[in-house]
Structure 1
Amino acid sequence: MILTDVFNTVDEIENLSDFHIETAMVKSDDLMKSILRVTTDHGNDYGIRLSDSSQVLENGSAFKLSDGELLVLSVIPDEMIVISPKGIDEMGELAHMLGNLHKPVQIADGTISLLFDKVVAETLRARHIPYTVESIQLEQPLRYADLSL
């Protein structure tokens, strides 16, 4: 079966308990794709081909399989480097360094998060910049800066 339209996200479905749910685990990178093949926890294979280019996949995207059945995407947690800069100067240096390495990042709540990378970890260690490595389930994929806006 080919699914072409996201029905909703599980957080926005009021009567979620009325549905039988199949879950497909996907990598965070898969959320950027408009064509995807998934296998659910029930062993069923589905194709996803988004018909509308404005639709985006995210953790919890739900597709209607029938009136009482949903396919829900769940993102596999990624190993992430999480940095909490001590101030604006360190934030600027980190932004410059990560930009030069062409790493997509997520900035939220005063932290910079990016997928684990040995080169970045070694660079942070060499510069005595504290960081943690955490397993994080991304809601949306990491993206490169969009300078066209």
Structure 2
Amino acid sequence: MIRASRVLRRDAVTGGEIVDRIVLDHGDRHRRRMTMRGVGGLSFLLDLAEPAVLDDGDALVLDDGRLVWVEAAPERLLEIRAASPLALKRLIWHIGNRHIPAEIGDEAVYIGFDHVLADMVRGLGGTAEPVERPFRPEGGAYASTHAHGEHGHGAHAHDGHPHHHGHSHGHD
């Protein structure tokens, strides 16, 4: 099976033969090694030296030099808005306390769809409307990332392992 062992970031994709594309949601764009099948049917092994977050517009470089285009799939999200910039900042603080991936824009914040968080946002005076679009969350202070849109999991996992950022959390 042909391998893809290198990621070409979207700002560096200037040419090359694009032979297929893969459409992945946010969770599936954070990978190191897995078998993939492109939309056009090309099967290949993603085999990176380290885990990487694949971003919309990146390309995977196959062993023979051909490229597979990476496309961010639309996902069900909540678009969160507030009446003022200060009110939005407060909502971002509350969302941040939940330790969930969030994409922060100028006038809105996007998170994965969650009816409990939607109710929380509405209870705090914001709006939380379901939308479908690609999700590009922030990398966070503990992510070793190349750019906006990545979410590191190693230093801040909530699976029973200790936190590595100097304070503890109560989770329900």
Q: Could you say which TM-score interval applies, normalised by the shorter chain?
A: 0.7 to 0.9
Residue 114 (structure 1) shift: 0.8
Task: Name the structure 1 match of 2:37.
Answer: 39
Worse-matched range after superposition: 30-39 or 111-120: 30-39
Deviations 1:49-105 (A, max 9, x none): 22256x6421122123335x3211212111111122222442243123212322221
Q: How far apart are residue 108 of structure 1 and its match?
A: 1.6
Runs (4 or more) in structure 1 with deviation over 6 Å come to: none
TM-score, length-normalised on structure 2?
A: 0.67
In structure 1, C-alpha distance between the alignment counterparts of 2:114 and 2:94, rounded to whole Å: 13
CA drift of 1:22 comes to 0.4
Relative contact order (alpha carbons < 8 A, sep ≥ 6): 1 or 2 greater?
1
Preserved CA contact (<8 Å) 1:79 1:136: yes
1:72 matched to 2:73: no
Contact 1:30 1:36 in 2 (8 A): no
Count of aligned pairs between the two proteins: 141
Match of 1:4 in 2: 5
SS of aligned partner of 1:86: coil
Q: Which of 43, 55, 59 is the aligned partner of 2:56?
A: 59
1:103 touches 1:144 (CA, 8 Å); kept in 2? no
Deviates more, 1:33-42 or 1:125-134: 125-134
1:145 aligned to 140, 145, 170, which one?
A: 140
The Cα of 1:40 is off from its aligned counterpart by 0.9
The one-letter code of the counterpart of 2:4 is L
Correspondence 1:99 to 2:100: no
**TM-score scaled to structure 1, two decimals?**
0.76
- The change in CA–CA distance for 1:144 and 1:118 in structure 2 (over 3 A counts) is farther
Secondary structure of 2:6's partner?
coil
Unaligned runs of 5+ in 2: 143-164, 166-172
Say which structure is richer in helix: 1
Q: Deviations over 1:105-149 (max 9, x none)?
A: 1112132111111111122334442232211113x4x2563266x
